[in-house]
């Protein structure tokens, strides 16, 4: 993937040197070989920090919210899921398209950093695809200003089957089993809000979970409050989840958050017709539009 990395650095350098953008957001090497965390470059001389490898996992779209009140124009490298995150933010009028310059990368799928750590660098070639990439339907960016020519072709979109496999497992449970499954998962929840903070569909200026005095949800880390958080978060991203899987990846407790998100996606598909969030700027989310022939009666 060297070719892409060199193009990344060259384009970042050009854009910064020309003053076309004030910042480039990409990835750089982290503490270990299996970590390539987000990088923020403002100096054209500093662009050799940027890397492109199989651990460029983080979805970068959300960071644009940090700069929405600045005058800065920002260049961002986008994989399939990053680009869908951008579409999502644009549809919510969170960012100004003119202030963003998108450099697309055909994504071959990123690798699982945690399993990489367990396998060791000598077995780098055996590191499996990250869970979040296994059922990716759009490895190529759906929106970009330019596309880097890759020497590694993006993989074919993953086949549809399997995308809802975890949902099917939970659906097959009895109500009691399902209750036990979700309470066991969310009893572990630390309420660290990593899932919320990484999510490109979570863009409220102020989240109710940062307003514990409002009385909606207590700060107690206990089952009732944790479940309220879980359900509220899931319902709030309903129809807007782009399936980037970042919430589940960043959860320190390994809560199967995507099973919840995908259940809602599956239900929405069945109720309102197939819809994939963040793919088409013009196609509004099913719960974000009004239709006279809405299948749900509305009086």
Where along the sequence are the contacts to another protein (CB under 8 A)? 30-32, 35, 37-40, 58, 62-63, 66, 117, 184-185, 188, 190-194, 196-198, 210-213, 218-222, 246, 249-250, 252-255
**Residue 225 or 243 with smaller CB distance to another protein:** 225
**Residue 32 or 179 with smaller CB distance to another protein:** 32
| Torsion angles phi and psi, residue 198, rounded to 5 | -90, -15
Match 């969310």 to its residue by tokens. 186
Instruction: List % helix, strand, coil for the chain (3-state, nearest 5).
Output: 45, 10, 50
248-266 b/e (C-beta count within 10 Å ≥ 16 → b): bbbbeeebbbbbbbbbbbe
**Residue 30 or 287 with smaller CB distance to another protein:** 30
**Residue 101 or 268 with smaller CB distance to another protein:** 101
Cα–Cα dist 244/88, whole Å: 12
Pairing type for strands 146-147 and 23-27 reads unpaired
**Residue 203 or 268 with smaller CB distance to another protein:** 203
Contacts 24+ apart (CB under 8 A), 18-21: 20/73, 20/75, 20/101, 21/72, 21/73, 21/74, 21/75, 21/101
Identify the CA nearest to 288 among candidates 85, 93, 137, 96: 93
**Residue 148 or 185 with smaller CB distance to another protein:** 185
């Amino acid at each position: 993937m060297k070719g892409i990395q060199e193009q990344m650095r060259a384009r970042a350098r050009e854009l910064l040197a020309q003053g076309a953008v004030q910042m480039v957001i990409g990835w750089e090497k982290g503490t270990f070989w299996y970590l390539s965390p987000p990088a923020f470059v403002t100096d054209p001389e500093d662009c050799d920090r940027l890397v492109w490898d199989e651990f460029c996992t983080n979805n970068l779209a959300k960071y644009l919210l940090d700069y929405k009140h600045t005058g800065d124009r920002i260049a961002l490298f986008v994989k399939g899921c990053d680009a869908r995150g951008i579409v999502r933010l644009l549809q919510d009028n969170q960012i100004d398209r003119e202030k963003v310059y998108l450099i697309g990368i055909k994504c071959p799928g990123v690798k699982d950093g945690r399993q990489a750590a367990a396998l060791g660098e000598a077995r780098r070639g055996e590191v499996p695809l990250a869970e979040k990439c296994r059922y990716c339907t759009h490895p190529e960016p759906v929106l970009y200003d330019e596309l880097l020519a890759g020497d590694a072709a993006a993989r074919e979109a993953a086949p549809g089957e399997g995308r809802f496999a975890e949902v099917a497992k939970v659906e097959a449970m009895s109500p009691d089993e399902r209750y036990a499954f979700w309470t066991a998962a969310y009893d572990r929840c630390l309420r660290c809000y990593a899932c919320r903070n990484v999510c490109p569909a979570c863009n409220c200026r102020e989240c109710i979970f940062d307003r514990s005095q409002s009385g909606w949800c207590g700060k107690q880390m206990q089952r009732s409050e944790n479940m309220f958080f879980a359900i509220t978060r899931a319902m709030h991203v309903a129809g807007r989840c782009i399936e980037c899987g970042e919430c589940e990846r960043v959860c320190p407790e390994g809560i199967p958050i995507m099973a919840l998100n995908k259940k809602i996606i599956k239900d929405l598909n069945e109720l309102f017709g197939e819809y994939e969030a963040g793919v088409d700027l013009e196609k509004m989310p099913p719960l974000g539009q009004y239709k006279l022939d809405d299948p749900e009666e509305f009086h």
